[in-house]
Amino acid sequence: MPQVLRECAIGMLTVGMSTRAVDCELNVHFCTISHLQRHFREFGSTSNRPHNRRPRVTTPAQDLHIQHLHLQDCLRRATRTAAATIGLHNQRISAQTVRNRLREAHLHARHPHRGLYLTAVRRRNRLEWANAHIRWHLPLWRGILFTDESRVHFIFGILNAQRYRDEILRPIVLPFIHDHHLMLQHDNARPHVARICTQFLEAENIPVLAWPAYSPDMSPIEHVWDALDRHTRQCVPVPANIQQFRTAIEEEWTNIPQATINNLINSMR
C-alpha cells in the first residue's frame, strides 16, 4: 500500500472503525489491513522496515494463475502472460516478473521453435550417420528401444540428469532392455548425455545407439505423444500428481482416432 493509504487506514482504525470496514473503504484485502495494524502495534510506524528487495507486484492468487496458464500451455510466452496480467495498484507487470514467478514454482516459460541452425559440420555428421545406417533392415531396427520421456516432469519439477537416471533409466528402461536384449536410443538432451547417466549406462552394460547432435527426432511415437501431451494439459483440473497424469493419459489414448494409430503402426513396420 502507498504510505498515504497506510496512514489513512491507521487513522480509521484509531477512531474505532473495524478492520472489515477499513478494507472495504480502501478497496484492499482484509489481510493487508490486519498485517498493517499488527505492524503498527509492534513497531509504532506504518512504514515497512528497511530492506533491499523490490516490492512484490503480484498477489498469491495471481502467482497461482500465472502457473496454471503455463501448465495448460507449455509453449506460452512470458511476454503474452505479462501483457494480460495487471499487478498491484493497476501496474503492468513485466515478462521477467512472469519468469520469476514460474521459476519459484520450478517452471519455465517456453520460446517458439525457430528451427535448428545447421553448420557444415553438423550437416556432415548427419550424412555420415545416415550412410552408416541406410542398409539396416527391419530386424536390426527392432532391436532398438527408442525413448522419449514424457513432459510430466515439466509439471512436477525440472528433469535433470539425476532424476532421469533414478526415475526413468533405472526403474523403467534398464529392466526392459535387459529382458528384451535391446540397444537404447535417446537424443542429446543435457540430462541424457550427463556424466552420471553415461557412467550408469556403461556400468550396466547398456549399449547406446550413437546419435549425431542437432538431429531431428525420428521416433514415430513422438507424434502421438505430442498429441496426448497437448490434450492432457487442457484437462480441468490440471493433473496434480503422477497417478492423475496417468489416468488422464489413459483417457486421452482412447480418444485418439483409429486412423492415427494405424498410421503409426504402419510407419514402424
pLDDT in tens, 152-207: 444 456 678 898 899 889 998 999 999 999 999 888 888 899 999 999 999 999 99
The per-residue pLDDT for 205 is 93
Helix then strand then coil, % of the chain, to nearest 5: 60, 5, 40
Task: Give the whole-angstrom CA distance, residue 71 versus residue 87.
Answer: 20
Question: Which grid cell is 210?
Answer: 550413437
pTM of the predicted structure, to 2 decimals: 0.47
HSE-CB at 235 with a 13 A cutoff on CA atoms is 18
Question: C-alpha angle 155/191/241, rounded to 5°?
Answer: 20
Contact 231, 239 (CB under 8 A): no
User: 13: closest CA among 4, 21, 1, 5?
Assistant: 21
The per-residue pLDDT for 141 is 86
Phi, psi of 203 (to 5 degrees): -65, -30
The per-residue pLDDT for 179 is 92
Positions of the chain with pLDDT under 50: 151-155, 268-269
DSSP 88: G
Task: Give the whole-angstrom CA distance, residue 30 versus residue 210.
Answer: 61
HSE-CB at 223 with a 13 A cutoff on CA atoms is 13
Task: Give the whole-angstrom CA distance, residue 18 versus residue 253.
Answer: 56
